């Protein structure tokens, strides 16, 4: 049995992403994948998929959808967006069933940038180089090598809709205030001591030059050393902070170039990349230095957090169910009765 998810409307930054395309950096192709891996994994856990299964990522946008040929269990996680089924509001970070004939509406996020819509089952998309993640500049993956747009139809083999209750998770945090932790290097020696202190001691903001490739930051200039801002091109990773001749830092993200000729003053800890990626143009950014050992520990903690998501699922209770579970009447007392 197959069903079809019909895209009635969506924004220009609506893409299909899975866990990412691994093993091709040496060929000049970055891995893509979700900007917020924790939100991606949470949405998939809610519908019973693996943590790296394909899902739909929204960037500062929403969309409208319907399903044909049956029903489909869905879940939205990440940046909080108002969600409704035929006009009835649906809670965030819970699973729900989209039935044939109903319309799902997802509004723009109130805070944050990226939200992920998971679909229970498997999308009929052909992997390219081992992944269906869209790499927009390479026109690989996604839906015919491009973002989703109005009128697209995605075929799926859905999981059976059982009679069990929908499931819920605690929302993944969107923290716009926390410092972003970085490991200095690999080329911090190409900067003056003043330049390093500027990175760690000053406030920056996300500029309008921000997309899945990288975020350019506005703020005080970061001073290069006498050797200047050109180096022999070498490899980059997600989280590399390049500083070109403009002295304005650029944090590289999922769709980055794989090599670069600007010195990299620091690298964002992988566990904190989602907190940076969820910040909008104008949002504040401050950095704090940690050791490589601390960054590795944080990465392992995040991997354990993702692996534990299915064990944290709880049955979703609507307002009436929550009142019943609270058993308020059982705690009622007679105000005039003598104390026991």
Phi, psi of 163 (to 5 degrees): -85, 5
pLDDT digits (tens, 9 = 90+) for 130-146: 999 999 999 999 999 99
Round the CA-based radius of gyration of the chain to a whole number and report it.
23
CATH architecture of 180-300: Beta Barrel (2.40)
- Report pLDDT for 317: 75
Q: Is 46 helix (H, G, I), strand (E, B) or coil?
A: helix
User: Who wins on pLDDT, 165 or 32?
Assistant: 32
Q: Is 320 helix (H, G, I), strand (E, B) or coil?
A: helix
- Distance in angstroms (rounded) separating the CA atoms of residues 93 and 77: 5
Give the residue-averaged pLDDT of 65-73: 96
pLDDT value at 301 more than 90: yes
Q: What is the mean pLDDT of the chain?
A: 92
- What percent of the chain has pLDDT above 90? 88
- Report pLDDT for 158: 84
pLDDT value at 329 more than 70: no
Range of weakest confidence among 182-186, 226-230, 264-268, 270-274? 226-230
- Report pLDDT for 323: 47
- Report pLDDT for 163: 74
Delimit the domains of the chain by residue range.
3-170, 180-300
pLDDT value at 247 more than 60: yes
Residue 29, CB-side half-sphere exposure with 13 Å CA sphere:
19
- Distance in angstroms (rounded) separating the CA atoms of residues 210 and 279: 10
- Distance in angstroms (rounded) separating the CA atoms of residues 111 and 280: 8
- Report pLDDT for 162: 77
- Report pLDDT for 176: 87
- Report pLDDT for 319: 52
Q: Which of 61, 56, 75 is nearest to 154 (CA)?
A: 56
Antiparallel, parallel or unpaired: β 180-184 and 287-289: parallel
- Report pLDDT for 340: 45
User: Band of the pLDDT at 93, cuts 50, 70, 90?
Assistant: very high
- Report pLDDT for 62: 94
- Report pLDDT for 159: 87
Task: Quickly count: other Cβ atoms within 10 Å of residue 339's Cβ.
Answer: 4
Give the residue-averaged pLDDT of 294-316: 97
Give the residue-averaged pLDDT of 30-54: 97
Q: Is 292 helix (H, G, I), strand (E, B) or coil?
A: helix
């Amino acid at each position: 049995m197959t069903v079809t998810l019909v895209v009635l409307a969506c924004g220009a930054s609506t893409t299909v992403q899975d866990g990412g395309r691994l093993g091709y950096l040496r060929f000049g192709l970055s891995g893509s994948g979700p900007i917020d891996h924790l939100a991606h994994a949470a949405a998939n856990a809610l519908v019973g998929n693996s943590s790296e299964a394909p899902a739909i990522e929204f960037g500062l946008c929403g969309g409208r959808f319907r399903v044909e040929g049956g029903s489909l269990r869905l879940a939205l996680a990440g940046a909080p967006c108002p969600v409704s089924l035929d006009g009835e509001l649906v809670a965030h970070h819970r699973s729900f069933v989209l039935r044939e004939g109903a319309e799902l509406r997802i509004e723009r996020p109130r805070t944050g940038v990226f939200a992920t819509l998971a679909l229970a089952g498997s999308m009929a998309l052909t992997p390219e180089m081992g992944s269906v993640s869209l790499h927009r500049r390479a026109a690989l993956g996604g839906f015919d090598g491009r973002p989703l747009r109005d009128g697209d139809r995605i075929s799926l083999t859905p999981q059976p809709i059982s009679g069990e209750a929908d499931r819920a998770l605690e929302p993944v945090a969107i923290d716009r205030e926390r410092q972003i932790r970085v490991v200095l290097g690999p080329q911090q020696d190409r900067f003056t001591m003043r330049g390093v202190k500027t990175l760690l001691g000053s406030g920056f903001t996300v500029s309008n030059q921000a997309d899945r490739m990288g975020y350019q930051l506005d703020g005080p200039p970061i001073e290069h050393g006498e050797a200047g801002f050109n180096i022999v091109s070498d490899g980059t990773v997600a989280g590399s902070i390049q500083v070109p001749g403009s002295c304005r830092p650029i944090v590289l993200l999922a769709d980055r170039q794989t090599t670069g000729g600007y010195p990299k003053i620091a690298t964002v800890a992988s566990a904190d990349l989602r907190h940076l990626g969820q910040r909008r143009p104008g949002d504040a950014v401050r950095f704090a230095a940690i050791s490589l050992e601390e960054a590795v520990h944080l990465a392992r903690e995040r991997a354990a957090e993702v692996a534990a998501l299915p064990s944290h699922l709880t049955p979703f209770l609507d307002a009436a169910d929550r009142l019943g579970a609270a058993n308020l009447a059982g705690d009622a007392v007679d105000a005039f009765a003598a104390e026991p």
